[in-house]
């Protein structure tokens, strides 16, 4: 339901924005090729902003997209993503082979995208990488990135056309912030700050490279707001502050500088208000002016898109008070509407949403199943803290429509460890409009679930249990709602 409301809000915005026209052809021609275009608010791709188009018998495609300003949009085809420059009221044509190795751009945005392609930015690169992601030393990778930046700056001086000020600002910023942005991408891909680090080098080496890269850039830069690589750097800035610390004592000093409070008090506040309170505070600490305004707008939109609602209401009120004339205000207000509506709802307003009374007293899955005997049960185990769990909720309506009127019950078991679990749990259920039966797991039920999975596997989130009409657990590894047909078949076999 949240997704439906959000899409309605976005559609309502289309009339207020100019259109960019995207057309093209992929050869050799094969009808039915699927391309996905995404108009992001910042650097992150979220499905609600995506539009799928299908090529015709000649391999041609056409679409009009609503854009608010010069920006980068994403085109995904055959597992590859293109980063395309667009402006309101302009046209872009794309001619490509099936592998996307040979691409020609045309239309009023052709020269801009052709130049970006020459630099490598069409694929979020600058030239060809000269390093190995996992084997090369971080400081050597940074040195190679800086050489690529210098080469790109020389090419910028010889632009084969007269660029618009908006395009020039964006591409200069993309080049200037490319090294820091790419380091973050490599750190994420290698899992450097996880137990499964693929890099030959550890956190200390990557930390030093990050420091050097950030020393070379200006964090608050109103001229760089539309740059994809600048947006990446800003998005990771709160994490950068965390990664700067090599020890707990160092982290304590950084935290005290941000919050201007003793670390013990900070720790307690973050536990109560959630990780996003840290993120919000870090943005306010490190950014100023238009950069801060844009970063908070992104914080709010990402909270809604991700369904990560901790500190969302407080941040929204702060944004509205501090930036009454913000150009992002209308968009943020539209994005926030479903959330604000959900906050105003009471339990009686939530049709077909059943919070099971005294659910924390349920001790075992067997006792839970007994109340639904004679019906197939699809159990969704999730938590408000679990991003993949929340992502699956957007596929729930199609699942429930498929089995409407059939003896299938949808049961949600939430596992929460926050200081105020019931509040976060109920807020999230209301936001997504999750029809079905809702249980907040107590310690005993959580232990029972972990024992069930311990026989063959470990309990992961999200996980899905299928129970037949007799109350027998058929599988602890049911398909996800996003698996669609595969899950539908699993359920139909039990009816």
* Residue 6 pLDDT exceeds 50: no
Closest CA to 376 of 482, 478, 483, 485: 478
d(Cα 129, Cα 131) in Å, to the nearest integer?
A: 6
* Residue 252 pLDDT exceeds 80: yes
pLDDT tens digits, one per residue of 51-93: 999 999 999 999 999 998 999 999 999 999 999 999 999 999 9
CA distances from 11 to 66, 287, 418, 472 (A): 9, 32, 36, 45
Position 383 scores a pLDDT of 94
CA distances from 493 to 280, 371, 409, 489 (A): 47, 21, 15, 6
- Calculate the average pLDDT of the chain: 93
* Residue 3 pLDDT exceeds 80: no
d(Cα 72, Cα 75) in Å, to the nearest integer?
A: 10
* Residue 458 pLDDT exceeds 90: no
d(Cα 200, Cα 202) in Å, to the nearest integer?
A: 7
pLDDT band at 309 (very low <50, low <70, confident <90, very high): very high
Position 17 scores a pLDDT of 56
* Residue 49 pLDDT exceeds 90: no
Kindly tell me the sign of the dihedral angle through the C-alpha atoms of 91, 95, 100, 102. Answer: negative
- Ranking 40-44, 126-130, 258-262 by mean pLDDT, the lowest is 126-130
Q: Sheet containing 91-97: give its strands across.
A: 60-67, 18-27, 91-97, 103-106
* Residue 337 pLDDT exceeds 70: yes
Bridge partners (DSSP) of residue 439 are 413
Q: What is the mean pLDDT of residues 462-475?
A: 95
List CB contacts of 79: < 8 A, sequence separation 6 or more.
none
- Ranking 48-52, 96-100, 199-203, 284-288 by mean pLDDT, the lowest is 48-52
List CB contacts of 438: < 8 A, sequence separation 6 or more.
353, 354, 355, 356, 359, 411, 412, 414, 425, 429
Position 2 scores a pLDDT of 45
d(Cα 148, Cα 179) in Å, to the nearest integer?
A: 9
- Ranking 228-242, 283-297, 339-353 by mean pLDDT, the lowest is 339-353
* Residue 459 pLDDT exceeds 90: no
Contact 55, 31 (CB under 8 A): yes
Name the region of 125 (left: φ>0; alpha: ψ -120 to 50; beta: rest): beta
* Residue 454 pLDDT exceeds 90: no
Position 11 scores a pLDDT of 42
pLDDT tens digits, one per residue of 348-392: 788 899 999 998 889 999 999 999 999 999 999 999 999 999 999
CA distances from 233 to 41, 213, 239, 295, 393 (A): 15, 10, 10, 11, 29
Burial of 374 (0-12, 13-18, 19+ CB in 10 A): exposed
| Domains recognised in the chain with CATH numbers | 19-123 (2.60.40), 138-344 (no CATH), 348-493 (3.40.30.10)
Cis preceding-peptide flag for 89 (omega within 30 of 0): no
CA distances from 289 to 280, 283, 295 (A): 15, 11, 10
pLDDT tens digits, one per residue of 196-239: 999 999 999 999 999 999 999 999 999 999 999 999 999 999 99
Position 427 scores a pLDDT of 92
Predicted TM-score (pTM) of the model is 0.90
pLDDT band at 457 (very low <50, low <70, confident <90, very high): low
Token pair 């949600």 in the structure block, residue = 412
């Amino acid at each position: 339901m949240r997704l439906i409301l959000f899409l309605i809000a976005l559609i309502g915005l289309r009339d207020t924005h100019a259109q960019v026209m995207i057309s093209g052809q992929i050869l050799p021609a094969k009808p039915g090729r699927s391309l996905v275009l995404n108009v992001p608010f910042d650097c992150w791709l979220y499905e609600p902003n995506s539009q799928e188009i299908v090529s015709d018998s000649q391999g041609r495609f056409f679409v009009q997209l609503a854009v608010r300003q010069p920006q980068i949009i994403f085109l995904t085809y055959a597992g590859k993503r293109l980063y395309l420059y667009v402006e309101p009221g302009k046209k872009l044509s794309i001619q490509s082979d099936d592998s996307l190795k040979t691409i020609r751009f045309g239309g009023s945005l052709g020269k801009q995208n052709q130049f970006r392609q020459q630099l490598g930015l069409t694929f979020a690169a600058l030239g060809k990488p000269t390093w190995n992601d996992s084997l090369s030393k971080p400081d050597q990778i940074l040195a190679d990135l800086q050489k690529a930046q210098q080469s790109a700056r020389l090419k910028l001086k010889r632009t084969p056309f007269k660029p618009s000020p908006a395009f020039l600002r964006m591409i200069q910023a993309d080049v200037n912030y490319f090294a820091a942005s790419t380091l973050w991408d490599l750190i994420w891909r290698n899992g450097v700050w996880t137990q499964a680090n693929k890099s030959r080098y550890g956190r200390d080496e990557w930390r030093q490279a990050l420091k050097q890269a950030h020393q070379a850039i200006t964090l608050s830069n109103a001229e760089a707001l539309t740059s994809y690589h600048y947006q990446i750097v800003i998005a990771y800035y709160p994490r950068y502050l965390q990664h700067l610390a090599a020890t707990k004592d160092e982290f304590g000093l950084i935290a005290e500088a941000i919050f201007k409070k003793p670390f013990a008090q900070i720790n307690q506040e973050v536990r109560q208000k959630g990780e996003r309170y840290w993120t919000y505070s870090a943005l306010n600490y490190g950014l100023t002016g238009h950069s801060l305004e844009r970063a908070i707008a992104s914080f709010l939109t990402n909270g809604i898109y991700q369904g990560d609602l901790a500190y969302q209401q407080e941040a929204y009120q702060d944004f509205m008070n501090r930036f009454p004339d913000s150009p992002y205000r209308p968009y943020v207000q539209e994005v926030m509407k479903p959330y604000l509506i959900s906050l105003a709802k009471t339990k009686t307003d939530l049709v077909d949403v059943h919070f099971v009374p005294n659910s924390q007293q349920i001790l075992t899955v067997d006792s839970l199943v007994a109340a639904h005997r004679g019906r197939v049960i699809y159990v969704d185990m999730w938590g408000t803290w679990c991003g993949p769990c929340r992502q699956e909720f957007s596929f729930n309506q199609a699942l429930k429509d498929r089995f409407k009127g059939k003896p299938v019950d949808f049961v949600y078991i939430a596992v929460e460890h926050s200081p105020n679990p019931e509040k976060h749990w109920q807020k999230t259920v209301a936001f997504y409009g999750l029809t079905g039966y809702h249980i907040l797991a107590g310690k005993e039920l959580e232990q029972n679930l972990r024992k069930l999975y311990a026989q063959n596997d470990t309990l992961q989130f999200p996980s899905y249990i299928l129970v037949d009409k007799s109350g027998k657990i058929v599988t602890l590894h049911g398909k996800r709602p996003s698996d669609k047909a595969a899950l539908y078949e699993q359920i139909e076999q039990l009816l």
